[in-house]
Chain A
């Protein structure tokens, strides 16, 4: 019984606000360390590719961004389900805080892919299943942000946004498996849990960059959720005392 109580305690914005503030600098620091290591390994140490030459180095941004764009959506859908089922206030705020970062990742993935596609494939864009479903993911992020911004009452906006997130989650397996299910121009995945068809240094550079993107996303989402908490709880006593005390740390 005591464990349950502790878990629910963190669902309270008043408890989570200082916790998020305390965790943020660590995630920022770890993200910078991973980023420097990943860029060093990817740009300076990793060898040239036998087919694509130097152009392949786009994967050190493209692949982590694509992974994060899908993973952030799953996390948002998770929070939406929790919020709808348990009526917790914080879960809606978490989904809100993650959305811009997810949209950024989807955009980065499409942009870097297009820049790479022109010299390698011969086309900026093709309407194949992988590219199209990733574009739909970007639209889902934008749609979620627009929908929640259009509804003033935070509880109702969380509910509407949550429903959109849950319906859209069907797109994630479509993105991931599109290269397996259909003929696409996009190549199949180079790595999964079982095998890797990449040279070791390239793989490590990519994994380090993925960790960097992951830590960055957590850090930025924690910062954003703090602002959202302050905004939504501005009439509550704890925020008033916090603000009266001066610097809202």
Chain B
């Protein structure tokens, strides 16, 4: 084995070790790296008590209720299994819409609702012109009206992670 090949093997070996260490550390830190937890996590009691944290999920269709003052708002965050009612007072980002992803920071109340101090919109990875989006919606509606059985609907909203 030539010395330069030895060195190359040494470099590859060192890189592998660094990689393994990084993987182990990241694995150990897993729950701290996540930006938010889902309503299912909250239901499972993983939410910190009396501490600010973030929940994330989809804004439930038809759940947004605005108060007369225009800045107080209530809505439901869902991961399609569990729901959490959220109260918020403040300005919402442009992409905050029903059926789309959102991340809220705040605290759980004793009644199990969430008082948010900040609401962020989570965008998805789809980019298309409005006409194409309309066409997709129409096609999904047609498909939904044809197949009534829930198994064939096959369009569970993608959880936003």
> B132-160 interface mask toward A, CB cutoff 8 Å, 1 = contact, 0 = none?
11100000000000000000000000000
Contact call B18/A120, Cβ cutoff below 8 A = no
- Complex interface: chain A residues within 8 A of B5 (CB): 85
* B87-107 contact mask (Cβ, 8 Å, vs A): 1 or 0: 000011111110010010000
Q: A190 touching B126 by the CB < 8 A rule? A: yes
Task: Give the complex CA separation of A56 and B19 in angstroms.
Answer: 35
User: What interface size band does chain A fall in?
Assistant: 35 or more
Contacts of A48 in B (CB 8 A): 129-130
The binding surface of chain B is classed by DSSP as mixed
Known: A50-B128, A120-B95. A184 touches B120 (CB 8 A): no
Closest to B94 in A: A119
Residue of B nearest to A183 (CB): B34
Docked-complex contact B93 and A122, CB < 8 angstroms: yes
What number of residue pairs across chains A and B have CB atoms under 8 A from each other? 126
CB neighbors of A among B27-57 (8 A): 30, 33-38, 56
Centre residue among A56, A167, A174, A182 by max chain B CB count within 10 A? A182
Q: Which of A85, A120, A183 contacts B4 (CB 8 A)?
A: A85
Chain B residues lying within 8 Å of A52, measured Cβ to Cβ, are: 94-95, 123
Q: CB of B67 within 8 A of chain A?
A: no
Count B interface residues, CB 8 Å: 46
Name the residue on B nearest A56 (C-beta).
Answer: B127
Q: Write the residues of chain B forming the contact surface with A, with a CB cutoff of 8 angstroms.
A: 4-5, 7-8, 11, 14-15, 18-19, 22, 26, 30, 33-38, 56, 91-97, 100, 103, 118-134, 161
B120 touches A185 (CB 8 A): yes
Partner of A122 from B19, B34, B92, B161 at Cβ < 8 Å: B92
**A residues adjacent to B (C-beta < 8 A):** 47-53, 55-56, 59, 81, 84-87, 119-123, 126-129, 166-167, 169-170, 174, 181-185, 187-190, 197-199, 202
Q: Are B35 and A190 in contact (CB under 8 A)?
A: no
The 4 closest A-B pairs by CB, nearest first: A122-B93, A47-B129, A50-B133, A85-B8
Q: A47-B128, A49-B129 are in contact. List 15 more A-B contacts (CB 8 A).
A: A47-B130, A49-B128, A51-B100, A59-B127, A121-B93, A122-B91, A166-B14, A170-B19, A183-B35, A183-B36, A183-B37, A185-B122, A187-B122, A197-B125, A202-B128
Contact check, A183 vs B127: say whether CB atoms are below 8 A apart. no
Residue in contact with B120 in the complex, picked from A59, A122, A166, A182, CB distance below 8 Å: A122
Which residue in B8, B22, B121 is a CB contact (below 8 Å) of A120? Answer: B121
- A121 CB contact (under 8 Å) in B19, B120, B128: B120
Task: Name the residue on B nearest A188 (C-beta).
Answer: B125
- Complex partner residue of A199 from B119, B125, B127, CB under 8 angstroms: B127
Q: Of A85, A184, A188, A189, which one neighbours B7 at CB under 8 angstroms?
A: A85
- Asked whether, in the complex, the Cβ of A183 is within 8 Å of the Cβ of B123, the reply is no
A141 to B119, CA, bound (A): 33
B123 touches A51 (CB 8 A): yes
Question: Would B93 and A120 count as touching, CB distance under 8 A?
Answer: yes
Give min CB distance, B4 to chain A, whole Å.
Answer: 5
**Bound Cα distance from A48 to B132, whole angstroms:** 11
Q: Shortest Cβ distance from B126 into chain A, in angstroms?
A: 5
For residue A85, which residues in chain B have a CB less than 8 angstroms away from its CB? 4-5, 7-8, 11
A129 to B29, CA, bound (A): 12
